[in-house]
Amino acid sequence: MWFFYCAEKTISLSAGGLEVKYAKEGVTIKDVAQLAGVAPSTVSKVMNGSSEISPDTITRVEKAIKKLNYRPNSIARSLRKNHTRTLGIINNSHSNKNTFVLQLMVGVEKAAQARGFSVFLCNSASSPAREKDYLEVLLDKQVDGIIFLDNVVKERALPSWHLNGVPIVFLNQYVTQPGYHSILPDDYQGGLIATEHLIARGHERVAYINGRLKHEASQSRLQGYKDALNKANIPFESQLVQGKDTWDEEGGYSSTHTLMTLSKPPSAIFCANDTLAIGALDALHELRLSVPNDVALIGFDNSLASAQKRPPLTSVEMPFLEMGKRAAEVLLEPPPTREMIHRLPCQLVQRQSSLGP
């Protein structure tokens, strides 16, 4: 994307023996054309990537642009073309410490950049007032689309402010109103493949340690766990589902102690996230139980820490980068489908904690 930038007041360049003085702040497309010896329309075609221009002409125009430090006025271009080639992200997350929020945003940026778009990032921190303020800023900047992002999968209401026809997409959150695209991870499928993996390894007593009960991700992963048991004709036992309504290590630690005191303890544990799995691993080590020889263990999220534990943890990887890319793609090129909620599949990353040495 081209931006106008002003530096020194004047420069002197020689073009065909003729000295031409330009004030950088006044450089126009006609000046570039004169220096390159082409028509202004040719300069415009070169800057827009036209295939009609010869390589020699492209080289001359690019050299002239560089010498003159020419940057077309993006606002003027947007008025002529009715777009600014910019997107906005309003991040509703409470904290930017979540690495997966960063992955979502990087995914958006990669897909946008590949199409010649820039991205404005705004952090509303779950404040409706701040969301409104940032929305007004983005609309004033005439962005070509806006992505609403959150760190927790949940249903939300549509923005109550007038969007002036600007398209919007929801990322890691969703709306049920028709006509609006939402991009989500398939938490259910993630829970299913994790449990199926343990069953395929010969485990019939598979426990599940849940996260926050009010979070849809927890319930979706739990349902995937239940359906995997059902498909394998393994009876569901409520006592094998534990949780302390938290995503923290302490929840995994205390829940594991509870599970291992059962008259028939599990031979495998599936945890709703990696932090719970790390707490479970600490408890199993404390109980002098070998992982995976005595108890196999799986986490969820495939965080950096999961690969660094001993043994390294098998984990379900969330498609955060792909979700961000898909959000930008859907925003810029809406698919011809009635499907409004797009769920991207998770992948199982197999490591020693479920496979053995």
| Cβ 316 vs Cβ 347: under 8 Å | yes
Res. 46 pLDDT band, cuts 50 70 90: confident
The residue among 26, 51, 79 that closes a domain is 79
Task: Output 51 or 259, whichever has higher pLDDT.
Answer: 259
**Which run of H or of E encompasses 172?**
none
Task: Judge whether residue 153 has pLDDT over 60.
Answer: yes
CATH number (domain holding residue 203)? 3.40.50.2300
Residues 160, 123: one domain?
yes
Residues 224, 314: one domain?
yes
Most confident of 47-61, 312-326, 330-344: 312-326
pLDDT of residue 357: 60
pTM: 0.76
Residue 302 lies in a domain: yes
Residue 4 lies in a domain: no
Task: Output 124 or 16, whichever has higher pLDDT.
Answer: 124
DSSP state of 174: B
pLDDT of residue 188: 98
Between the alpha carbon of residue 354 and those of residues 237, 242, 259, 277, 357, the distances in Å are 21, 20, 18, 12, 9
Residues 34, 104: one domain?
no
pLDDT of residue 278: 98
pLDDT of residue 96: 55
- Average confidence (pLDDT) over 51-70: 85
Res. 82 pLDDT band, cuts 50 70 90: low
- Average confidence (pLDDT) over 253-270: 98
Task: Output 79 or 41, whichever has higher pLDDT.
Answer: 41
Residue 132 lies in a domain: yes
The residue among 79, 95, 118 that closes a domain is 79
Residue 2 lies in a domain: no
Task: Output 75 or 194, whichever has higher pLDDT.
Answer: 194
- Nearest Cα residue to 141 out of 109, 113, 164: 164
- Nearest Cα residue to 95 out of 126, 134, 121: 126
Residues 200, 304: one domain?
yes
pLDDT of residue 9: 32
Beta bridge partners of 171: 149, 183
Task: Judge whether residue 16 has pLDDT over 70.
Answer: no
Residues 133, 236: one domain?
no
pLDDT one-digit tens code per residue, 334-349: 887 778 999 999 999 9
Residues 106, 252: one domain?
no
Residue 275 lies in a domain: yes
Res. 50 pLDDT band, cuts 50 70 90: low
Residues 100, 73: one domain?
no
Residue numbers of the domain that contains 308: 187-319+347-355
Residue 3 lies in a domain: no
pLDDT of residue 70: 75
The residue among 44, 79, 114 that closes a domain is 79
Number of structural domains the chain divides into: 3
Residues 211, 180: one domain?
no
Task: Judge whether residue 262 has pLDDT over 80.
Answer: yes
CATH number (domain holding residue 70)? 1.10.260.40
Res. 72 pLDDT band, cuts 50 70 90: low
Residues 214, 351: one domain?
yes
Residues 124, 229: one domain?
no
Residue 1 lies in a domain: no
Residues 244, 301: one domain?
yes
Structure tokens at 109: 């940026």
Residues 267, 294: one domain?
yes
- Average confidence (pLDDT) over 303-327: 95
Res. 99 pLDDT band, cuts 50 70 90: confident
With both helix axes pointing from N to C terminus, report the angle between 320-332 and 99-114 in degrees, rounded to the nearest 10: 40
Task: Judge whether residue 23 has pLDDT over 80.
Answer: no
Residue 54 lies in a domain: yes
